[in-house]
Amino acid sequence: MKKGYSFRDDLKTIGYYTGYIIIGTGMLMIIPLLTALLSAEWNIAIDFVIGFSIAIITGYTFVIICSNKRKKVMWIHGMVIASFSWLLLTIISAIPYYLSGNYNSFLDATFDVMSGFTTTGLVLIQDLDHVSNGVNMWRHILTFVGGQGMVVLALSFFGSNLGGGFKIYVGEAKDSRLLPSVKSTARAIWKISIIYLIIGTFILWVIGMGIGIKPVSAFLQALWIYMGAWSTGGFAPHMQNILYYHSLIFEIATIVFFTVGSFNFGLHYAVLRGNKKEIYRNIETVSFFITLTILVTMTTIGLMRYGVYPDYMAMFRKGFYQLISGHTTTGFQTIYSQQFYNEWGSFAVIAVILSILIGGSACSTAGGFKGLRVGITFKALMSDVKRLFLPESAITVDRYHYIDDQVLDDKTARSAMIIIICYIVVFALGSIAGVYYGYPVLSSMFEAASATGNVGLSIGITSASMPAGLKLIYIFIMWVGRLEFMSVFALIAFIFTGVKRIWSEI
């Protein structure tokens, strides 16, 4: 830490900014509260009044107690604030869930909040088909906000109060600056998301009424499904997920929305400003379409080998849909979870696991390794191979295009590979945990990949009846996967350093 900056100052700085992030997210409970009141769900409305009160009191308590003239935020503070606030918000946001009576335990409610915040989409909720409108609204707001990030939300509301905003913003696994200031960048991200939200909800609303859903219900379901699609979160208001609708046009619309949602906010901003060439020049979109083509081919071969689906339309609606839902880390499903295990065969399931781990774009709502890192690692590998055939005296400069032309140096390649290795390690630990608790190897790998990549596709392991230890492990790997490790490592290091400093003063 900075010389002269005591551990107490560090805690105050972290607590002060964490308080504002809690307040910003807590204010969102007004939306499901109003939804519950309009739906005459009086008990649910009381649940959200309690949750809102606890969030606001907690947030302002942190701000008041931790108010400190020395509020300069360093990188370690930004990382710790991001990771710590996510943990605290997960507990606070689970309160209305638990009070609603839709969960067997507070742990299950916490699991679903973390799944929503991280845009994973794995669920433990009971009797989802009959859940109140207020709770359903909260479920989808959590995943919609989680896709953008709670720090982005707080910066939009309290940008002038968060002097070290960019360092906290980076702690939430984002580093794109669309505009000169981080506050204007945060607001630009929200403007992009709201514009798409209005358009997407209207389209799904029309489709919903067209397939026979009543107007009010069609609107709510369109809003919720779009939130789940854009945030690549995978939450839906029915246990059958997208299969519930039995509509080809509905499925095609969601594919478009969650694919667009998986792209970098910087790419959206560039395209909206008229730079359409960025779509096919950007290393992430190129990487995405190459890996998608390879994995779709693998899935098709695997499914055709076992004759799982009778024709190409069924192959598209069942095979391609699941594959691209996994690749964008959305988690929408048009098949039952057990069909992966009972019908698809190992080869096609492995293709889906790979798609889940690769994921979407950096600085988007998607999870996984990210296409940027895959592209950078591949180009670095090809660059090293190319150097083998050049004279030793040759000097080469490799570049890649990511919004602007970038130099591919050793530091960039190393950073990309380190994060990929971290994902693989966490995926391996999750897989081992599943096997330890008695699940088959392939199923354990599938579910661990889904949690690590923040996807939400399930092969049937995730349920309220699974062991509490596995629930805790999945909560942890969803959290570290979404924050991309560095801020979590910073939090762990900060705790150990703090304990050491306190111990030395005793």
* Alpha-carbon separation of residue 424 from 94, 412, 427 (angstroms): 29, 19, 5
- Distance CA(135)–CA(187), nearest Å, equals 27
Higher per-residue pLDDT: 224 or 275 = 224
Q: What percent of the chain has pLDDT over 70?
A: 91
What pLDDT, on the 0 to 100 scale, is given for residue 482? 87
- Distance CA(21)–CA(89), nearest Å, equals 9
What value does the mean pLDDT of the chain take?
Answer: 87
9-30 mean pLDDT: 88
pLDDT in tens, 370-412: 888 888 888 888 888 887 777 766 667 778 887 777 888 888 8
Assess contact for 376 and 189: CB atoms under 8 A.
no
Higher per-residue pLDDT: 85 or 164 = 85
The structural domains of the chain, with segments of one domain joined by +, span: 1-170+468-505, 277-467
Identity of the highest mean pLDDT range in 67-71, 209-213, 489-493:
209-213
pLDDT in tens, 406-446: 888 888 888 889 989 999 999 999 999 999 999 999 999 99
Can you name the residues that pair with 84 across neighbouring β-strands? none
Residues 6+ apart with CB under 8 A from 257: 196, 200, 226, 229, 230
Query: Which range has the worst mean pLDDT, 42-56, 165-179, 489-503?
Result: 165-179
* Alpha-carbon separation of residue 476 from 90, 103, 435 (angstroms): 12, 19, 17
Assess contact for 331 and 457: CB atoms under 8 A.
yes
What pLDDT, on the 0 to 100 scale, is given for residue 360? 83
Q: Quick one: residue 438, left, alpha or beta (phi over 0 = left, psi -120 to 50 = alpha)?
A: left
Higher per-residue pLDDT: 101 or 177 = 101
Identity of the highest mean pLDDT range in 191-200, 455-464, 489-498:
455-464
pLDDT band at residue 94 using 50, 70 and 90 as cut-offs: very high
pLDDT band at residue 1 using 50, 70 and 90 as cut-offs: very low
What pLDDT, on the 0 to 100 scale, is given for residue 14? 87
What pLDDT, on the 0 to 100 scale, is given for residue 21? 87
Looking only at the bridges linking them, the beta strands covering 404-407 and 399-402 are antiparallel
Output the DSSP codes for 138-201: HHHHHHHHHHH-HHHHHHHHHTTT-TTHHHHHHHTT----SSSSHHHHHHHHHHHHHHHHHHHH
pLDDT in tens, 273-332: 777 788 788 888 888 899 999 999 999 999 998 888 888 889 899 999 999 999 999 999
Query: Which range has the worst mean pLDDT, 18-22, 92-96, 501-505?
Result: 501-505
Q: What percent of the chain has pLDDT over 90?
A: 52
pLDDT band at residue 501 using 50, 70 and 90 as cut-offs: confident
pLDDT in tens, 111-166: 999 999 998 999 999 999 999 999 999 999 999 988 777 776 666 665 555 555 66
Assess contact for 122 and 460: CB atoms under 8 A.
no
64-90 mean pLDDT: 82
* Alpha-carbon separation of residue 500 from 76, 77, 506 (angstroms): 17, 18, 10
